[in-house]
Amino acid sequence: MKSVAVFEAKNRFSELLSAVEHGEEVTITRHGHPIARLVSFTAVGQAPVGQRDRVLGAIQRLRSLGQGSELGLPLAQAIESGRD
């Protein structure tokens, strides 16, 4: 993956688009911090390898955290008390 500063990206935009068309990903940085990523339009719907499994695993862990928990009061009352 190529990384370029904003100024360089503005000056080389056509070249960067050509690289993206050929499957390369380009990260655009400002002051050394990533702010955007250029990817091929056809690659947008494709998740990185293993990402789906990591997300599903995280969701399962979050669900298990809530099992057996009780608020100690009705849900509507808990929601209302949080609206101060």
Whichever domain contains 18, its CATH number is 3.40.1620.10
| Bridge partners of residue 37, in order along the sequence | 27
Question: What was the pLDDT predicted at 23?
Answer: 86
CB 40 within 8 A of CB 21: yes
Confidence band, pLDDT 50/70/90 cuts, at residue 26? very high
d(Cα 11, Cα 13) in Å, to the nearest integer?
A: 6
- Asked if residue 12 belongs to a domain, the reply is yes
Q: What is the DSSP letter of 46?
A: P
- Asked if residue 80 belongs to a domain, the reply is no
- What is the number of domains present in the chain? 1
Question: What was the pLDDT predicted at 6?
Answer: 95
- Asked if residue 33 belongs to a domain, the reply is yes
Residues 54-79: tens digit of each pLDDT:
889 999 998 888 787 777 888 888 88
- Asked if residue 69 belongs to a domain, the reply is no
CB 6 within 8 A of CB 29: yes
d(Cα 41, Cα 52) in Å, to the nearest integer?
A: 20
Residues 31-55: tens digit of each pLDDT:
999 999 999 887 666 666 788 888 8
Taking the CB of residue 74, how many other CB atoms lie within 10 A of it?
A: 9
